[in-house]
Structure 1
Amino acid sequence: MKLALVVPGGVDRSGEYRVIPVLLTLIEHLARNHEVHVFALRQEARPDRWSLAGATIHNIGDGWPRRRAIAAIRAEHRRAPFDAIQSIFSGSCSFVAVAAARWLRVPSLVHIAGGELVALHAIGYGGRRHWRSRVREAITLRMASAVTAASGPIIESLQALGIHGWRVPLGVDLSAWPPLPPRNRAPGPARLLHVASLNRVKDQTTLLRALAMLAQQGVNFHMEMVGVDTLDGEMQALASELKLETHISFLGFKTQRQLRPIMERADLLVMSSLHEAGPLVLLEAAIAGVPTVGTAVGHVAEWSPTAALAVPIGDTDALAQAVARVLSDESLRLRLAWAAQCRALVEDAEYTARAFDALYVRLALERRARSEWRGVSGEE
């Protein structure tokens, strides 16, 4: 098949920086069996084209990107027709994918990968904060041939809006991120890990306050925090205020290759997000033999209590108690790690590609059946 993927970015020509690793994994796996063209709305300021992960990247660039993206898809369709057009993330990406697909009379798919279905007014985040975006999303998602999402909670959010969703987790590439069996803790401080950009959605304020509670209780730990700082040092200042300097290392951005050894030396991944469609890092941790404690979002919510421990969003006390519980019970920590790894292995990147392939075939057959019905009935 010939596929078009519409993405906001995350496909930098370097393949390491300014990328969304799980997106590159998906593109690479789809490109093994299909001709894949990726239309990135704003990877770079100027329009350009390059090859990456076995696909052709069409960068749209600044200035009316949605209109020009639709035009670019139509132009590529004239060279050889697309069989399906899919957006990864909704919003502008889904608008482009669905509009282009309707114009070209091919199936469209929308994958919910972020905060498209939430409205977190306190931090100015989410695709449902304004009535115009809510109306646009409602129309776009209902016009899509299929809507997918990575985790059960997002599927439930779609159902609440009257939209059927297919659960398709974005899995880990086991060839690039090989499994490592869960292992006993080494002597010394418990090694905690947090992997996320420092921003309001990830709610590191709750995380740091929970860590301060652990320190006050005498828990021996050290937390490594990996991620781009978008808050201009605010979290580092809070850590200092809470007297956590000796308990935390802020490591900044790390590539996937740099992250792996950091993950391997961790005992527990701790997440504090207000919202997650996934997150992928929970799957990566599971493959590396590391269990997760976090707020009840995305995979953390659907895996708890057998393969992760979930606590209420924003609940500092509960997060601290859950971390302390896992660190004080090695058998529990290992049970969580083994259960999480089993789930992540089953739903790896190959599973993701097969799930999307099955949807492509299903939509192609439905499209053929409709065409044959029009021919029999004499409809135009």
Structure 2
Amino acid sequence: MTPNAAQTTPAGPSEELRAVLVLAGTTGGIGAHVRSLAAGLSAHGVDVTVCGPAETDKLFGFSGAGARFHAVEITPTPGPRTDAAAVGELRRAFARASLVHAHGLRAALLSDLALRTARAQEAPPLVVTSHTANLATGMERRLLRMMERRVARAADLVLGASSDLVTRARDLGATDARLGPVVAPPLPPALAEREQTRRQLLAEKGRRGAAKDAPDRPIVLAIGRLTPQKNFQLLLDAASGWRAAEDHPLLVVAGVGAEEAALRARIKAERLPAKLLGYREDVAELLAAADVVVISSRWEARPLVAQEALRAGVPVVATAVGGLPELLGDAAVLVPPGDATALAAAVSSLLADPARRAELAAAGPLQAETWPTEADTVAQVLSVYDELISER
């Protein structure tokens, strides 16, 4: 689609196309994706408003991406008062919208509620990007499925971040569901040398005078929110098996989340060769310092860390779940989900085989060239917007 394609639609010139992007609180891929869209759409002359918690604008800088930011406190879990306030704010933000594009289940549910009163008056189209699978159990899973079904049927179009999410949306009753890949923005160049970052990561934090790790000790890196979906407990299971090896690697995990205290307590209690780094912005430096990147998740669509690692030529070991097999192809080592023994063995095998690591390091950037770019994604979204507005 050309930059002027929006001018051919009934909505008028592209500068008259007013898109409202909605998201709940996030520190990861959804926020990065929305910022990328906001910047790309604004560059094409679209009037973009981003609605989300105030903290997301501080973290991702939507206001600095050419978009207008409208603070809406969309909480992770439902609450009568907070949801009512959020719906009211969304109605105000949607007043002049040509189209609403919600990201994630919570944002989509509240957007649908805000639009419902205007449905009889030809409300703007609702696009929903599905970013995650339903991994809950029991009653919570059934409740979430009901919400997913409502969103799928209310949306004019569902974009799934991976093929399995597209299939699920169709199964839930979506009238139109298509693949809408989430693309990791390019990382800035690393500002520190590999060895400098490695020295910092390997430095012993124990008692004064304790020996430091050998400078050539392998470093295994994991990045992500510390939540059950990422299954870092499985990664610690694998790390516990590495202790027997004389040159066992150090596992470093960058991220924050609800499981941080439990993971930290386990590392300390079991004296595991692992460190929690907390929230980090120096992802490029961490990747440059790592020997292997590990993704132990129960499910993923197109995680940013997987894309960033392959682009950087860092070997990846990942669980074969969700969209990971189609994303990574033959450029990574895939293991069964939930199998700590297989995960540990795959990492150990790679660390012991420099030739295989070099092979994967070369394959990563080649695989990355097969993915859509940020420009491709923006063009697809613009085309979708034009199509839906034309139908109205």
| TM > 0.5 | yes
Q: 1:84 to 1:202 in 2, by over 3 A?
A: same
Q: 1:336 to 1:363 in 2, by over 3 A?
A: farther
Matches within 5 A, 1:266-345: 266-303=290-327, 305-345=329-369
What is the Cα deviation at residue 108 of structure 1?
1.0
Q: Size of the alignment, in residue pairs? A: 337
What are the superposed Cα offsets for residues 42-84 of structure 1, whole Å, 9 maximum, x if unpaired?
749xxxxx93421111112387444444444443454xx3221
Q: 1:173 to 1:66 in 2, by over 3 A?
A: same
Matches within 5 A, 1:105-116: 105-115=123-133
Separation in structure 1 between the aligned mates of residue 99 and residue 366 of structure 2, nearest angstrom? 32
Separation in structure 1 between the aligned mates of residue 19 and residue 298 of structure 2, nearest angstrom? 33
Q: 1:276 to 1:360 in 2, by over 3 A?
A: same
- Name the SS for the 1:233 alignment partner: helix
Partner of 1:253: 279
Partner of 1:4: 20
Which letter maps to 2:153? Answer: R
Q: 1:74 to 1:252 in 2, by over 3 A?
A: closer
Partner of 1:119: 136
What are the superposed Cα offsets for residues 186-220 of structure 1, whole Å, 9 maximum, x if unpaired?
98222210112223222211101112223324454
Structure 1 residue runs of 5 or longer lacking an equivalent are 12-16, 45-49, 122-127, 368-380
Separation in structure 2 between the aligned mates of residue 70 and residue 316 of structure 1, nearest angstrom? 43
What are the superposed Cα offsets for residues 313-365 of structure 1, whole Å, 9 maximum, x if unpaired?
21101111221232233343333334333343432322222221221122223
Q: 1:39 to 1:303 in 2, by over 3 A?
A: closer
What is the Cα deviation at residue 253 of structure 1?
0.9
Match of 2:97 among 78, 82, 94: 82
Contact 1:300 1:308 in 2 (8 A): no
Confirm or deny that 1:354 pairs with 2:379: yes
Matches within 5 A, 1:92-107: 92-101=106-115, 103=118, 104-107=122-125
- Name the SS for the 1:20 alignment partner: helix
Separation in structure 2 between the aligned mates of residue 73 and residue 238 of structure 1, nearest angstrom? 42
Confirm or deny that 1:193 pairs with 2:221: yes
Separation in structure 2 between the aligned mates of residue 31 and residue 69 of structure 1, nearest angstrom? 25
What is the Cα deviation at residue 139 of structure 1?
2.1
What is the Cα deviation at residue 142 of structure 1?
1.5
Partner of 1:366: 391
Separation in structure 1 between the aligned mates of residue 322 and residue 358 of structure 2, nearest angstrom? 22
Q: More deviation in 95-104 or 199-208?
A: 95-104
Match of 2:249 among 206, 215, 221: 221
Matches within 5 A, 1:17-36: 20-33=31-44, 34-36=46-48
Contact 2:295 2:319 in 1 (8 A): yes
Partner of 1:124: none
Which letter maps to 1:323? Answer: V
- Name the SS for the 2:228 alignment partner: coil
Report % sequence identity.
Answer: 26
What are the superposed Cα offsets for residues 210-236 of structure 1, whole Å, 9 maximum, x if unpaired?
122233244542222111153353223
Q: Provide TM-score, normalisation by structure 2.
A: 0.75
Which letter maps to 2:180? Answer: V
Confirm or deny that 1:202 pairs with 2:230: yes
Separation in structure 2 between the aligned mates of residue 268 and residue 132 of structure 1, nearest angstrom? 38
Structure 2 residue runs of 5 or longer lacking an equivalent are 1-16, 57-61, 75-79, 199-214
- Name the SS for the 1:31 alignment partner: helix
Q: More deviation in 31-40 or 67-76?
A: 67-76
Separation in structure 2 between the aligned mates of residue 273 and residue 18 of structure 1, nearest angstrom? 15
Aligned Cα RMSD in Å?
A: 3.1
